[in-house]
Amino acid sequence: MKARRADNPVTETVSALLIPFMQIYALYLIAHGDLGPGGGFQGGAVFAASLVLRAIVFGLDADEERRYERLAGACASAGVLLYGGIGLLCMLRGGAFLDYKALPFADPKTAYHLGVYGIELGVGLAVAGALLLLFMKTAGSRDD
Amino acid sequence: MFEAAALAVLLAAAMALSRALTGPSIYDRILAVNVMGTKTVTLLALIGFIYERPHFLDIAITYALINFIATIAFLRYRERGDLRI
């Protein structure tokens, strides 16, 4: 990470320490969604918040900005695709929409667990991408 | 024991809130809001102990992370007049 401006070293140091922790924590929230508090939405929101913090404190040049925007859009679309894909796969295999027991795994308990896991991952991707895209569109330097 | 600590934290949060409402300068208000966020984190952890639900610690960590970003964003907005990156 490079600093574009001569900025406050305190915020930069704290952010550099905090951002990796936030991202790991966001993945923990997504992965633990069915056991504790959190889940796809909260994990995605924390992940997007870490990238917003990075953009606010360190700044982004035009190239990074374009890359962030493309990546955020792709993540949002991929999350929806994952969610809908798992739901439709259940229908194709003879169950209802999001009927995890119809997923092609031997043990219905495993199928249920992995199904929930995939859904949480899809929600997390979609939320992180959409929130980051909103931030980039409102705070970005390009007007288009 | 935890209940008494929670009450003390609530009292401190109320004092911070009064400073946020009356604070002469914008920095008093920003600092007061930040202090209230810290009190909220402590209160969440205490509630987790009072009701013996350790999951509240996860919520407290999440709140601490988000609270920090909000303060940084406020100060950046105050410094430059916009949030353009």
| Domain assignment of residue A57, yes or no | yes
Enumerate residues 6+ apart whose C-beta is below 8 A from B69: A49, A52, A53, A56
User: Which residues fall within 8 angstroms of residue A17, CB to CB, at 6 or more apart?
Assistant: none
Per-residue pLDDT of chain B (85 residues; tens, 9 = 90+): 889 999 999 999 999 999 999 978 989 999 999 999 999 999 999 999 999 888 888 889 889 988 888 888 888 888 877 777 6
**Cα distance between residue A134 and residue A136, in whole Å:** 6
Residue A3 lies in a domain: no
B59 touches chain A (CB under 8 A): yes
Measured CA to CA, the distance from residue A90 to residue A60 in angstroms comes to 42
**Is the CB of A1 inside 8 Å of chain B's CB atoms?**
no
A contacts of B81 (beta carbons < 8 Å): none
Which pTM value belongs to this model? 0.86
- Closest chain A residue to the Cα of B59, Cα to Cα: A37
Q: Which residue of B has its CA nearest to A17?
A: B65
Domain boundaries, chain B: 2-80
Residue A103 lies in a domain: yes
Candidates A38, A36, A29, A127; CA nearest to A80 is A127
The beta-carbon neighbor of A140 closest among B55, B56, B85 is: B85
Chain A contacts of B58, Cβ < 8 Å?
29, 32, 36-38
Domain with A74, as residue range(s), is 9-139
- Contact pairs from chain A to chain B, CB under 8 Å: 51
Q: What average pLDDT score do residues A116-141 get?
A: 89
Instruction: Specify if A29 maps to a domain.
Output: yes
**pLDDT confidence tier of residue A1, bands split at 50, 70 and 90:** very low
State residue A3's pLDDT score: 46
In a domain, A123, yes or no: yes
Shortest Cα–Cα distance, A138 to chain B (Å): 8
Domain count, chain A: 1
pLDDT tens by residue, A70-103 = 999 999 999 999 999 988 888 888 878 877 777 7
Q: Is residue A144 part of a domain?
A: no
Q: Could you tell me if residue A2 is inside a domain?
A: no
Question: Is the complex ipTM higher than 0.85?
Answer: no
Chain A residues inside the 8 Å CB shell of B76: 56
Between the two ends of chain A, the Cα-to-Cα distance in Å is: 27
- Closest CA–CA distance from residue B76 to any residue of chain A (Å): 8
Angstrom distance (rounded) from CA A129 to CA A127: 5
Residue A1 lies in a domain: no
Q: Is A37 on the interface with B (CB under 8 A)?
A: yes
Calculate the average pLDDT of chain A. 85
In chain A, which residue ranges form alpha helices assigned H by DSSP?
A: 9-31, 40-58, 62-92, 108-139
